[in-house]
Structure 1
Amino acid sequence: MRMLSKHLPSTRALQCFLAVARELNFRRAAEMLNMSQPPLSRQIQGLEEMLRVRLIERDTQRVSLTPAGLAFKEQAAAILLALDGAVGAARENADDGSVRMGLTSVINHSLMPALHALVADAAFTGGRALERAWSRQLVERVSSGALDLAIVGDIVAPGADLAMQALGCEPMILALPATHAAAASEQVELADVSDLPLFWFARADNPAFYDKCERAFRRLGYAAPRRPEPKDFTLLLAAVAAGEGVALCPQSMRATSRLGVAYRALPPAVARMLSIEVQVVARAHETRAPVLDKIARIRATLGR
């Protein structure tokens, strides 16, 4: 029997290669994998160095596969598909019926009655709290098998190993200094606060939602200067209260009050343009009945 090599590529390296091989574009491949381009390029470079074969030709004009890359693409896809089947078979034979679930920390579920009731139902959660994290992190954990499903916000469409289903939308509102003149109105146009910077996240954190909002900003003629958005929401509110800028946040986050911060509605059309799509993500070829039952329950409770 042939012995396996001690030096085999990681599944992450194979996923990175296949994303580039399918897209023939490093930027789109990176977005599909919810990562930035430099680590993606390093994965490809490391894979080629391990194999001692050039798989991808890349210049300023285009990306293409070498003959070795074309052959490797077919085999790498088969390997990941077989591995996915092996993981599924192992889980089915060792499954205790529990389902590991995640919930995006971008939304405050306590202000969404249907979602709050669902995650507070011990019969649904199995008595375990849902893992809370940024949507991008949850998608990565579902992809790696650390979670079985997650309820997430707007995020770039995942690769072929994951499937997403839309549940509904969470409108955006404006957080501004309570001392600002616009705070006297119940509804505020973005133009009314263009004298202050906008606290904004990096595109690499969520390319899909970032691009969606940028298109809306251009359409609205909103071009306020940007400041890096603190990762911690309480720090963000503290900066807004200090008059350092304004922030856009999901409507449900207004439950987090802060002295010196005023939450104001945006015009309905603007709120819709900037709304966060709430979705459930799971493995594309999921067959386990407990996981499928949870997804069906989520869709029945939260679906449009």
Structure 2
Amino acid sequence: MLMLSKHLPSTRALQCFLAVAQELNFRRAAELLNMSQPPLTRQIQGLEEMLRVRLIERDTQRVSLTPAGLAFKEQASGILLALDAAIGAARATVDDGAVRMGLTSVINHSLMPALHALLADAAFCGGRALERAWSRQLVERVRSGALDLAIVGDIVAPGADLALQALVCEPMILALPETHAAAANAQVDLADVGDLPLFWFARADNPAFYDKCERAFRRLGYAAPRRPEPKDFTQLLAAVAAGEGVALCPQSMRATSRLGVAYRALPPAVERLFSIDVQVVARAHETRAAVLEKIARIHAALAR
């Protein structure tokens, strides 16, 4: 018998609760979901008010699940897994073989010949244009079902509903004004350009890679002042050419030349600290043959 209720939690509320239940830390749970802490807290509070039971105990020292929270965690996880399976079953009945794919705008794949050739193949892409966006946005598009898979850069572990697979490691290089004295060298250490600000992105754009780089900066003793990084790469290069600062960017982006900008390699030991892991993200329980075949071909292309 069909049972309808106006008092059921949203799938987003369940995802928020399960992230906190998994991490037992609101900050890490928020990063896992690519959101800030205040809306995450509101989702948990709204869920508890709807259920009229406390699920999570929280104080300044620790976060823990109540007995009700432990019981709810098991059932909520099963609900989302069942919903994921239902979506897959529904799509399988109308699957035309077309796979919707995204590609991070941070990496210039044209300098990865095998990957570039594959993604330029109309047959491989099924006549569909690749969606280009920031890695964080692409992950959310895969999570929502708007994309089937995406090639992204370093991101925080996306949660149990998505699966990440490593593809290749992309080194970072330094973009600096051609007029700077350090531009005369084939390799440039960050200490050599410490007199200029660093154009840098906001932590919210990619918490995982941001934290990785911050650890590297501290290790190297690099403390140059920061300037907000323009979202448009062309604007960033214009600012570097004008002598307003320096920038770290993926090696493949050096294909975008700009008068007044010099691209220089970092010393090998420093380069390793700032490398970007290029990954493919898809739904964790993906079973469609067409999607799995695309992922396998991407892996095979990069392996060659």
Q: TM-score higher than 0.5 here?
A: yes
The equivalent residue for 1:209 is 209
1:166 alignment partner, SS class = strand
Report Cα offsets for 1:62-85 as digits up to 9, x if no partner.
Answer: 112223322222221111011011
The equivalent residue for 1:267 is 267
2:54 alignment partner, SS class = coil
The equivalent residue for 1:293 is 293
- Structure 1 segment 40-79 matched on structure 2, within 5 A: 40-79=40-79
Deviation at 1:260? 2.0
**Range moving further from structure 2, 89-98 or 33-42:** 33-42
2:301 alignment partner, SS class = helix
- Structure 1 segment 144-293 matched on structure 2, within 5 A: 144-293=144-293
The TM-score with structure 2 as length reference comes to 0.95
Report Cα offsets for 1:185-217 as digits up to 9, x if no partner.
Answer: 221111000111111112222121112112222
The equivalent residue for 1:21 is 21
The equivalent residue for 2:35 is 35
Cα distance in 1 for partners of 2:18, 2:87 equals 19
Alignment gaps of 5+ in structure 1: none
Task: Kindly provide the amino acid, as one letter, of the partner of residue 281 in structure 2.
Answer: V
Q: Is the 8 A contact 1:92 1:288 kept in 2?
A: yes
Q: Is the 8 A contact 1:166 1:303 kept in 2?
A: no
The equivalent residue for 2:117 is 117
Cα distance in 2 for partners of 1:3, 1:170 equals 52
The equivalent residue for 2:91 is 91
Deviation at 1:52? 3.2
Cα distance in 2 for partners of 1:202, 1:46 equals 29
1:9 alignment partner, SS class = coil
Task: Kindly provide the amino acid, as one letter, of the partner of residue 220 in structure 1.
Answer: L
Deviation at 1:105? 0.5
Deviation at 1:149? 0.7
Deviation at 1:226? 1.4
Cα distance in 2 for partners of 1:50, 1:190 equals 53
Deviation at 1:286? 1.0
Q: Is the 8 A contact 1:155 1:209 kept in 2?
A: yes
Cα distance in 1 for partners of 2:57, 2:272 equals 42
Alignment gaps of 5+ in structure 2: none
Q: Which runs of 4+ in 1 moved over 3 A?
A: none
**Range moving further from structure 2, 47-56 or 283-292:** 47-56
The equivalent residue for 2:136 is 136
2:187 alignment partner, SS class = coil
Deviation at 1:45? 2.0
Task: Kindly provide the amino acid, as one letter, of the partner of residue 159 in structure 1.
Answer: G
2:249 alignment partner, SS class = strand
Report Cα offsets for 1:5-32 as digits up to 9, x if no partner.
Answer: 1232211111010110121111111122
Cα distance in 1 for partners of 2:176, 2:46 equals 46
Cα distance in 2 for partners of 1:75, 1:150 equals 30
The equivalent residue for 1:11 is 11
Cα distance in 2 for partners of 1:281, 1:2 equals 36
The TM-score with structure 1 as length reference comes to 0.95
1:106 aligns with 2:106: yes
Q: Is the 8 A contact 1:199 1:227 kept in 2?
A: yes
Report the number of matched residues.
Answer: 304
Deviation at 1:2? 5.4
Cα distance in 1 for partners of 2:103, 2:85 equals 26
Cα distance in 1 for partners of 2:269, 2:91 equals 46
Cα distance in 2 for partners of 1:303, 1:22 equals 34
Task: Kindly provide the amino acid, as one letter, of the partner of residue 91 in structure 2.
Answer: R
Task: Kindly provide the amino acid, as one letter, of the partner of residue 293 in structure 1.
Answer: E
Deviation at 1:227? 1.5
